[in-house]
Amino acid sequence: MCPTETYEPPLTFIVVQKRHHTRFMPAHDRDGVGKCRNVPPGTTVDSVVTHPLDFDFFLCSHFGIQGTSRPAHYYIVWDDSKFSADDLQKLSFYLCHTYSRCARSVSIPAPVYYAHLAAFRAKHHIASKLETSGAVSQSSEGGGDAVLTTAQYVLRCPCIPVTARKEKDFLVFVVSWAVRRVRVSNIAVCVPWN
């Protein structure tokens, strides 16, 4: 099957946030697992502590070996596929079991881990080009300008694969990378389509 110009597969954009201060504990100690009595792997929280209007959820997909388990926070930014909440939560949990470097489930889905590894490697490939072009400012605070400048540079850089899709009046670019002090992963940049 050869893709044509009219082929527009449904896309789902999910932002996975690992660094936050939310923790979950079982209601009773007997319900916890492991030495630290963490919530069991697969615990999903999609009400009460989540946003009342946005589609988001917390998923603790791994077994906490040491200390308190940190669940990942999933934000569904765009959903053309019209997944149900349960289907997305199951898919996210199942993808946490497919990471090839670990025999157990991991805290975030394997594609996110692989994107992070690719971004870490890409950082070394483009670091010298960014330094010579001055694309990244020296300060990471107030990073909006630095991120935008870096995104503009990356969109022009032939060494970084960029996925593009025309969406109504915008061309959406999805880029995943990490650059020096400005750490960005899975950015969607919308450019007006003419």
Residue 101 reports pLDDT greater than 50: yes
Average pLDDT on 36-42 reads: 79
Range of the domain at 157: 113-192
Strand arrangement of the beta sheet that strand 170-175 belongs to:
163-167, 170-175, 187-192
Regarding predicted confidence, which is higher, 28 or 15?
15
Boundary-marking domain end, from 69, 90, 108? 108
pLDDT of residue 18: 85
Question: Within 10 Å of residue 31's Cβ, how many Cβ atoms?
Answer: 11
Same domain, 94 and 171: no
Is residue 72 assigned to a domain?
yes
Residue 180's pLDDT band (cuts 50, 70, 90): very low
Boundary-marking domain end, from 42, 73, 108? 108
Boundary-marking domain end, from 108, 131, 152? 108
pLDDT of residue 78: 85
Same domain, 118 and 172: yes
Rounded to 10 deg, the angle between the 144-156 and 110-133 helix axes is 90
Same domain, 22 and 95: yes
pTM above threshold 0.75 = no
Query: Which structure tokens are listed for 31?
Result: 């319900």
Phi first, then psi, for residue 90 (nearest 5°) are: -65, -45
Same domain, 63 and 89: yes
User: Token pair 């991120």 is at which residue?
Assistant: 147
Question: b/e map of 117-131 (b: 16 or more CB within 10 Å)?
Answer: ebbeebeeebeeebe
pLDDT of residue 151: 52
Contact 45, 93 (CB under 8 A): no
Same domain, 135 and 83: no
